[in-house]
Amino acid sequence: MNVLVIGANGQVGQNIVNLLHSNKDHSLKAMVRKQEQADELANRGIKSVVVSLEDSVEVISEAMKGSDAVIFAAGSGGSTGSDKTLLVDLDGAVKTIEAAEKIGVKRYVMISALQAHNRENWHESLLPYYAAKHYADKLLEVSKLDYTIVRPGGLLNEPGRGKVSIAENLGSGSISREDVAQVVVSSLTKENTIRRSFDLISGDDEISKAIDSL
């Protein structure tokens, strides 16, 4: 597949880029916000495009052309206010969904958040973020896209274990960013993940087995 990674400079996004860059089955294009990020990727032989999620659907569509699949790994970040959460995590995500539909890209993998689909389980300190994720996911679910929504728990900067727990509903938990990236990339070509959403935390099942058991 020709895969566009949106949010390629984020912490999970960088792990996804590394996996795709070394995977001979896929061709990678990274979407970043700054030219210096694109220059760094170019030095590694990685194709990129400089586009903001606050740009228009038309601009995002142009960046997406030639792609078979989209991975949404972007986020406004913890240092920004609720305004950026609204513009990036919600409206930015929806723009990419609209862009994919507009130009005929069918495969779309969204990185969401653990229990984003259950309001009663949202973290009190992150309500705007969870609301943004909840409604972006809902709009993806009613789209015409072959979507997969991955809802990881607390993200850790530690080596991946390669073992996870995947289910429609999971309790609190955490997972390494490396393992999230591996699940996302592995899901791209798994038919049983199409039009499916699931929670994801560290667990006891090998990633391939966990995905196959969905």
Residue type, 84: K
**Residue closest to 170 by CA, chosen among 148, 203, 141, 147:** 203
Report the alpha-carbon distance of residue 104 to residue 81 in Å, rounded. 33
- Torsion sign across C-alpha atoms 133, 134, 138, 139: negative
- Which single residue is written with the structure tokens 């958040």? 113
Residue type, 16: I
129 assigned to active site = yes
Report the alpha-carbon distance of residue 145 to residue 143 in Å, rounded. 5
CB proximity list for 205: less than 8 A, separation 6 or greater: 163, 164, 165, 166, 213
From the candidates 129, 130, 135, 147, give the one annotated as an active-site residue.
129
Residue type, 126: L
17, 75, 109, 196 from 145: Cα distances, Å: 22, 21, 10, 11
The 8-class DSSP code of residue 124 comes to G
Catalogue the active-site residues: 129
